[in-house]
């Protein structure tokens, strides 16, 4: 059996209450007593039991992290580890621990969220994604449990603390860059279509076209399902169009390189024949050939700020929901060319 507060109390010849107060560094305890109790704790190797402490304190100093369905490609790209790194740093600074969802299906994850909330397993939750009509977000919204989101919520956004990039704006900037190089026929390889980030970037894409009076052709948009089922075929189709694109924007660098691979098979060269821009600025993108122009969305900062927003709500019951826009910028490399 582990050392308890009673063992320390007995050994130090004080009451358990006093030991507890020494742990909490209560100012009403004399320096002498504190000293004595602390020595005893040390000599006995005492460590407070978290379960007991949490039970009476009615809090856990733990943050729940909800990630999207782990069977998706979410795990392939570096978004998850990088955002987690940001969250870790912020949580660690405030002495919070991290509890991870493990479910593989949306149903399982939903159950976990309910259990985390109702079972008082965490003090708050960070939702690592935002999708349209998400049960989990709806549940959190009505639960009263503090939470924050990485990504703009599709509904009730004003009433929710979240971090996001200016996805519409950055998509327009990417388009402006391509327009500036003389491109008019631009394809867009989009992420999962129920993710708000996808909708926003697509909106920026379309707005940019509209502002330049370029008609929006649906064939130029390839959705994630199309890429996953038959990426090669999807790209081939794109270039069998009567007017094939001269530039491609993809929602992720890894996808960009996958596309570049298919293009090489089709004898289409990047950037000579077609320009390409990715998102997420993968560590590899500056080393590979061609070096990829990519949008750095500052994933680490997204994580840090999401954790900060959550901690703000945890620490202050009536903190007003805040929204943080993390900067993003296009990093130009060698994958685009004027025409």
Partner DNA sequence: CTGAAAGCGCTTACAG
- Among 257, 281, 294, 335, indicate the residue that binds its own copies (CB under 8 A): 257
- Measuring CA to CA, how many Å separate 115 from each of 97, 120, 139, 143, 272? 17, 8, 12, 12, 54
Contact track, its own copies, 66-105, x by CB under 8 A: ----x--x-xx-x-xxx-xx--xx-xx---xxxxx-xxx-
Map the footprint of DNA across residues 30-69, applying CB under 7 A.
30, 32-33, 46-49, 52-53, 55-58
Nearer to its own copies, 60 or 328 (CB): 60
- Which are the contacts of 173, defined by CB distance < 8 A and separation ≥ 6? 330
- String of DSSP letters for 19-85: HHHHHTT-TTS-HHHHHHHHHHHHHHT----HHHHHHHHT--SEEEEE-S-TTSGGGTSTHHHHHHH
- Measuring CA to CA, how many Å separate 85 from each of 15, 134, 307, 337? 42, 25, 11, 35
Nearer to DNA, 57 or 283 (CB): 57
Instruction: Return the range that interacts with DNA (CB under 7 A); candidates 27-35, 72-80, 188-196, 242-250.
Output: 27-35
Smallest distance, Å, CB 23 to DNA?
5
- Among 10, 23, 106, 194, indicate the residue that binds DNA (CB under 7 A): 23
- Among 14, 83, 277, 330, indicate the residue that binds DNA (CB under 7 A): 14
- Among 10, 34, 38, 120, indicate the residue that binds its own copies (CB under 8 A): 120
Is position 4 an interface residue for DNA (rule: CB under 7 A)? Answer: yes
- Measuring CA to CA, how many Å separate 296 from each of 42, 275, 282, 336? 48, 18, 8, 16
Q: What does the binding site for DNA look like in residue numbers (CB under 7 A)?
A: 1-2, 4-6, 13-21, 23-24, 26-30, 32-33, 46-49, 52-53, 55-58
């Amino acid at each position: 059996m582990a050392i308890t507060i009673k063992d320390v109390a007995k050994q130090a010849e004080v009451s358990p209450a006093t030991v507890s107060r020494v742990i909490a560094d209560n100012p009403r305890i004399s320096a002498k007593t504190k000293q004595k109790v602390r020595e005893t704790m040390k000599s006995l190797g005492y460590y407070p039991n978290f379960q007991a402490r949490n039970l009476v304190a009615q809090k856990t100093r733990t943050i729940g992290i909800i990630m999207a369905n782990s069977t998706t490609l979410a795990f392939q790209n570096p978004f998850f580890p990088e955002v987690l790194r940001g969250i870790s740093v912020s949580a660690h600074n405030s002495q919070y621990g991290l509890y991870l969802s493990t479910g593989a299906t949306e149903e399982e994850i939903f159950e976990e969220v309910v259990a985390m909330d109702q079972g008082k397993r965490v003090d708050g939750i960070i939702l690592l994604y935002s999708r349209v009509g998400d049960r989990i977000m709806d549940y959190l919204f009505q639960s009263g449990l503090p939470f924050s989101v990485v990504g703009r919520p599709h509904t009730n956004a004003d009433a929710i603390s979240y971090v996001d990039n200016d996805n519409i704006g950055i998509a327009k900037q990417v388009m402006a860059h391509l327009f500036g190089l003389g491109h008019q026929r631009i394809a867009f390889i989009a992420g999962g279509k129920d993710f708000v980030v996808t909708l926003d970037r697509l909106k920026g894409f379309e707005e940019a076209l509209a502002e330049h009076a370029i008609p929006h052709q649906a064939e130029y948009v390839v959705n994630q399902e199309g890429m996953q089922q038959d990426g090669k075929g999807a790209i081939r189709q794109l270039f069998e169009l009567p007017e094939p694109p001269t530039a491609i924007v993809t929602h992720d660098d890894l996808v960009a390189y996958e596309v570049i691979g298919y293009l090489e098979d089709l004898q289409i060269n990047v950037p000579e024949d077609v320009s390409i821009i990715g998102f997420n600025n993968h560590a590899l993108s500056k080393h590979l050939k061609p070096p990829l122009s990519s949008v750095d969305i500052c994933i680490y900062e997204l994580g840090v700020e999401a954790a900060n927003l959550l901690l703000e709500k945890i620490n202050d019951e009536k903190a007003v929901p805040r929204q943080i826009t993390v900067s993003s910028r296009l990093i130009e490399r060698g994958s685009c060319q004027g025409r």
